[in-house]
Amino acid sequence: MSYEFWIGARYAGLARAKRKRGGGDRFVSFIAASSMVGIALGVAALIVVLSVMNGFQKEVRDRMLSVLPHIELYATNQPPSAILSGWKAVAKLAEENPEVKGAAPFVSGQGMIMRGEQLNGVQIRGIDPPLEGAVSDISGQMTSGKLSTLTPDSYSIVLGNYLAYTLGVKVGDTVLLLAPQGSISPAGFSPRMRQFTVTGIFSSGYYEVDASMAFINFEDASKVFRNSAQTGVRLRIADMQKAPLVASNLQAAMPKGLEVRDWTDNNRSWFAAVQTEKRMMFLILALIVAVAAFNLLSSLVMAVKDKRSDIAILRTLGARPAEVARIFLVQGSLIGIVGTVAGVLFGILLAFNVADIVAFIERLLGVHFLPAQVYFISELPSDPQLMDIVIIAVTSLVLSLLATIYPSWRASSLQPAQVLRHD
């Protein structure tokens, strides 16, 4: 071990001196320890926050796509009845792509549901229950009733649990569905209305879906909405992350008049907002690490000032300026490395247990930090990503290394004669 490394490690508090430490040594070790703690806390905070944001995005995406399609094929210049009658041919053509694992027809339209004096806007999705399991998990999310009750001409409806709660209905009750398309008479515009029987309630865990979506049989939906609905084929693929590429390939293979849209198109603004927020949070929280790096810089400057006599003695014994600089480079680098490693380990530990920690705090304080109506989900998820952790660790190490440059140069430029004259 070179003497520069040994002295630098001693100043960093990581090497033990043979003689009892004086007040100056303890002071240098204290400021070194405070710098390590600052870097560790900054790194841990970055890892935890980015892990929570990753978990939030993944959780919402998975819950959303358990009900919503990976890819949709729908007609643009054809009447809805045309694609609805020929959906099997479209599905067969789409399933030639090896990534496509399931296909089912759909009819989608906006409407209003009325129950007594309660009126709610709703997204109606007409489905074929026997085929729906190939493209969504809705059948496994039923809390009451069964999806198989949505038979043709039964005019049955399955509601999201929040929507059912808002309307005050349960299985067996009836609701009135109002379609936007209606008739005009001397008395004015009359929307098309149809009474439906609630035969099931589902819970996807995604508030926006559970509070605003209802399922009916696709043949019933085509009768209620007629030409005001969008019809097509829903697809599920093996890897949802490949949806844009698969959609592009399908668009090239489909005949004219069919448009292909994947889940990233349907929710582009939401996911773009989450990515922008994640980048901004990284930049903002990186300032914590930057502050810790400035703290390291100031602590090294103080260490240089405190050790002026030691530096002068080393110079008179023949130490070159570069060797003196390396002492403080070692000190700063070790503080940065130890602080970063401790922060990474502490951050990973917190990231993998943050849900339990938050749940304990909620029970302790009797509060709920994540109301589902605001945050889509009611539990705090966490998904630590290796690349995020690597970027955070490298950023911390680079900032720590940069913080050592000026103090090291300052130490190497001290003139022994001037220092010893004043001592």
Contacts of 356 (CB under 8 A, 6+ apart): none
The helix (run of H) or strand (run of E) holding residue 122 is strand 118-127
Segment 386-414 shows an average pLDDT of 87
pLDDT surpassing 60 at residue 40: yes
| 79-101 residue pLDDT tens | 555 556 678 888 888 888 888 88
Q: Which tens digits make up the pLDDT trace of 295-338?
A: 888 878 877 777 777 777 777 777 787 887 888 888 888 888 88
Joined together, the tokens standing for residue 328 give 């403080």
Is it the case that residue 17 has pLDDT exceeding 70? Answer: no
Task: Check: CB of residue 87 under 8 Å from CB of residue 73.
Answer: no
* The pLDDT of residue 277: 79
Q: 171 or 273, which is more confident?
A: 171
Which tens digits make up the pLDDT trace of 104-160? Answer: 888 888 888 999 888 888 999 989 888 888 888 888 889 998 888 999 888 999 999
For 152, the token pair is 């043709």
Mean pLDDT of 208-217: 89
pLDDT of residue 378: 62
Q: Answer whether 277's CB lies under 8 Å from 83's CB.
A: no
What does the CA dihedral 296, 335, 1, 11 come to, rounded to 10 degrees? 60
Q: What percent of the chain has pLDDT over 90?
A: 13
Q: What integer best gives the mean pLDDT of the chain?
A: 81
Q: Measured between alpha carbons, how far is 330 from 185 in angstroms, rounded to an integer?
A: 88
The DSSP output letter for 149 is G
Band of the pLDDT at 393, cuts 50, 70, 90? very high
Read off the pLDDT of each residue in 236-259 and give the average, rounded to a whole number. 84
Strands (E), 135-229: 142-145, 156-160, 174-185, 188-202, 213-217
Provide the 10 A C-beta neighbour count for residue 350: 18
* Residue 16, pLDDT above cutoff 70: no
* Banded pLDDT at 253 (limits 50, 70, 90): confident
Q: According to the model, what pLDDT value does residue 111 have?
A: 87
**H or E segment to which residue 115 belongs:** strand 100-115
pLDDT of residue 343: 93
